[in-house]
Structure 1
Amino acid sequence: MFSSEIIATFNELETSLYDYICKNSEKVIYMRIRDLADVTHVSTSTILRFCRKLKCEGFTEFKVKLKLYLDESEERNIKSTQYSLSEFVERTLKGNLDEAIKQAATMIVKSDNLIFIGSGSSGILAEYGARYFSSLGKFSMYVKDPYIPIHANYLHNSTTIALSVNGENGFTIAHLNQLKEKGSKIISITNNKHSTIAKISDINISYYVTEEWYKNSNITTQIPVVYILEETAREVNKLSE
C-alpha cells in the first residue's frame, strides 16, 4: 500500500503519521480523523493531504483501502507437516507410485550418465538427489548453471531427473529442452502430471499435495520428493546388483 515512491514524497509530519499508522493499523481503521490527529499531533489537513498522496479522496476512503490491505496481508495458518504427510499418503502412496518408481529406476540403470536439475528448493533437492544416488553406487551430477556447455557425445545414453513443484519453471523447461535435443531421456518429479515439464518427460512421477504459499514464498512440502528420490535410488541399487 505504501510504495517507496510515495513514502519518498512525505514531509516530516507525514512521515510521523505514516510511522504511527504502520504500528497501529488495526486501531486506525476504526478511528475518526480527529482521533488520529490528536494521537499523532498533526492537523486534520495534514491527514487529508497524506490521504491524497495515497490517491484517496478522504480519510474514509483511506480507511477502507487500509482495511482491504490488512485483509489481503493476513497471514494464513501454516499446515503441520503431519497434515502434508497424511495428504501424500492418501493421495499418492495408495496409487501407482511404486510402478512409476520402478519404471524410472529401470531407465536409470540402463543409462551411463545421470543428471539432476532444478531451481530454488527443487534445486537444493536435486543436489541432494545427485549425492544420494552417488552414495548408492550410481554416480550422478547436479547441473546448476543453465548456460553450461552441453556436448552430445556425453549425453548419448544419459538420463536427466528434473525436479519442479508446479512443473512450469522457465529455467528448468529451457534446460530440459536443451538436454532433450542432445538425446538425454527425461524423468520429472512434479506435483501434478498436467504441467509442461511433466508433459515433455519420458517418465513423470507426480505426488499431488496441496500447494502452499506463505506471503510470496512457495512452502509446499518437499517430503514426497525426498521419499521418491530415496526410493528410486534404492530401487536402482537393487536392480544393479
Structure 2
Amino acid sequence: MINMFTKLENIQNVTESENKVVQYILTHPDSVMTMSIKELSEACYVSTSAIYRLCDKLDVDGYNDFKIRLSHSLTEYTKRKGNIDYNFPFKENQTQYQVLSSLKENYEQTLLSTFDLFETDEIRKVVSRMQKSKNITVYTSANNIFFAQSFKMQMQEIGVRVEVPVDEYEQRLLATTSGPDDLAIIISYEGRLINIDLISNLLKINNTAVLLISSSDYQIKNIIPNYRIFMPSYEHKYVKLANFSTRLSLLYILDGLYSCYFETDYKNNLEKRIKYAQLSGASKNE
C-alpha cells in the first residue's frame, strides 16, 4: 500500500483550500493524528467539505479512514524526512567514512521513497500492456541511456525485444513508425529529453500507448500518458552534486518492471534466460 504521506506530497489537481490542508498535514503530521475534522478545518482556515473532497481524491473512505492510514504511514514518513540533502548529500571537509555513510543514507531513503510511490495496480497494467505490445521502445536522454540499455538487455535475455534509440533522428523515426499495438516508455525526470514534445506528438498521432516515468511535478505538453510511474522529486534539476537519487530510483523502477514481467511466467522465463545465456556464452568462446 502506498504511503499516505507520499500520496500527499505528490497529489495533483487540488484546489487552493485542499492544498492548505495538504501542506498543514505534511508540516504537522503528529498533531493531525489527534485532530477532529472540525479542528483540522479551523487550523487550516478551510471548510470541512474541502477536507472531505481531499479524502475522495486520495481514495480513502472518509476522514477516519484517512487518519488511520496516516497513522500507519507516520513512522516511515518521519524516518524518510530526516536531515537528508538530496542535492548535496555530503559536504566539504567530510571524512571518507562520512561521505560514504551519507550516500548510503541517501540511497536507502531513495529506495524507500520510490517504493512508496509504486501503485501495484498501475504496475500490473503496465506489465500486461508490455505482454501484449508488438514493439516496446524506450525514449530517454543521454544521462539515462545506460539504464535503458540495461533494461533492454534484461528483456532480450527472456526473449522480449526492446528498442532504445540513442540519436535524435532514430528517436523520431521510431516514434513516426510506431502504432497502436506498440508501447512507448518515456523516461524524463523533468523534461530534459530534447525531442520529447515532437516524440510525444508523433506517438499521440499514431495512437501509441505511453508509459511516462518521471518526477510527479512533470507533465508532457502534448499528451496524457496511459500509464505513469513516479520517481521521487527531491533533486533539483540543475543545482546538485550528481543524480545520485534519480539514478537509483530509475534503476529500481526498471528492474521492478523486468522482475514483475518475469514473474508472470517465471518458469518459462527462467528457462529462456538460462538457455540464451548459455548459447550466447558458448558463441563467445568459439
What's the TM-score, normalizing by structure 2? 0.50
**Paired position in structure 2 for 1:162:** 186
State how many pairs are aligned: 166
Q: Which residue of 1 aligns with 2:226?
A: 202
Q: Does 1:101 align with 2:101?
A: no
**Does the Cα contact within 8 Å between 2:176 and 2:202 map onto a contact in 1?**
no
TM-superposed CA distance for 1:208, in Å, is 1.0
Q: State the alpha-carbon separation in 1 of the partners of residues 199 and 175 from structure 2.
A: 13
Query: Of 73, 77, 82, which aligns to 2:104?
Result: 82
Q: CA deviation at 1:188?
A: 1.4
Is residue 138 of structure 2 the alignment partner of residue 116 of structure 1? yes
Give the drift of 1:194. Answer: 4.1
Tell me if the contact between 1:138 and 1:237 (Cα under 8 Å) persists in the aligned partners: no
Q: Is the contact made by 2:88 and 2:241 (CA closer than 8 Å) also made in structure 1?
A: no
Measure, in 1, the Cα distance between the counterparts of 2:195 and 2:145: 11
Q: In 2, Cα distance between the equivalents of 1:140 and 1:96?
A: 23
The 1:213–1:220 alpha-carbon spacing in structure 2 relative to 1, beyond 3 Å, is: farther
Gaps of 5+ in 1: 1-75
1:87-133 deviations in whole A, cap 9, x for unaligned? Answer: 32443313444333222111111111110110121233222222222
* CA offset digits 1:134-157 (Å, max 9, x no partner): 223321110123323348775341
Rounded Cα–Cα distance in structure 2 between residues aligned with 1:86 and 1:169: 27
8 Å CA contact 1:114, 1:139 repeated in 2: yes
Q: What does the per-residue CA deviation read over 1:44-100, in whole Å, with 9 as the maximum and x for residues that have no partner? A: xxxxxxxxxxxxxxxxxxxxxxxxxxxxxxxx8444432332332443313444333
**Match status 1:185 vs 2:214:** no
- Structure 1 CA distance, aligned partners of 2:153 and 2:186? 15
Per the TM alignment, residue 209 of structure 1 is displaced from its structure 2 partner at its CA by 4.2
1:223 corresponds, among 234, 248, 263, to 248
**Partner SS for 2:235:** coil
* 1: CA distance, partners of 2:148 / 2:108: 24
Pair 1:94–1:215, CA change in 2 (3 A): closer
Q: 1:180 to 1:162 in 2, by over 3 A?
A: same
Is 1:128 aligned to 2:150, yes or no? yes
Aligned counterpart, 2:260 = 235
Q: 1:161–1:151: structure 2 CA closer, same or farther, 3 Å change rule? A: closer
> 1-side partners of 2:238 and 2:175: how far apart?
40
Cα deviation, residue 158, structure 1: 0.6
- Partners of 1:156 and 1:184 within 8 A in 2: yes
Q: Name the amino acid aligned to 1:208.
A: P
Residue matched to 2:169: 147
Identity between Structure 1 and Structure 2 (%): 15
Question: Residues 9-37 of structure 1: CA distance to partner in whole angstroms, max 9, x if unpaired?
Answer: xxxxxxxxxxxxxxxxxxxxxxxxxxxxx
Does structure 2 retain, via aligned residues, the 8 Å contact 1:123–1:163?
Answer: no
Contact 2:201 2:223 in 1 (8 A): no
* CA RMSD after TM alignment: 3.0
Please state whether the residue corresponding to 1:162 is helix, strand or coil: strand
Structure with greater Cα Rg: 1
Unaligned runs of 5+ in 2: 1-86, 91-101, 269-286
Deviations 1:188-212 (A, max 9, x none): 1112254327963110100214114
C-alpha distance 213-78 of structure 1, shift in aligned 2 (>3 A): farther
Asked if structure 2 preserves the Cα contact closer than 8 Å seen for 1:166 and 1:190, the reply is yes
Q: Does structure 2 retain, via aligned residues, the 8 Å contact 1:156–1:183?
A: yes
CA distance in 2, matches of 1:161, 1:202: 10
Partner secondary structure for residue 130 of structure 1: helix
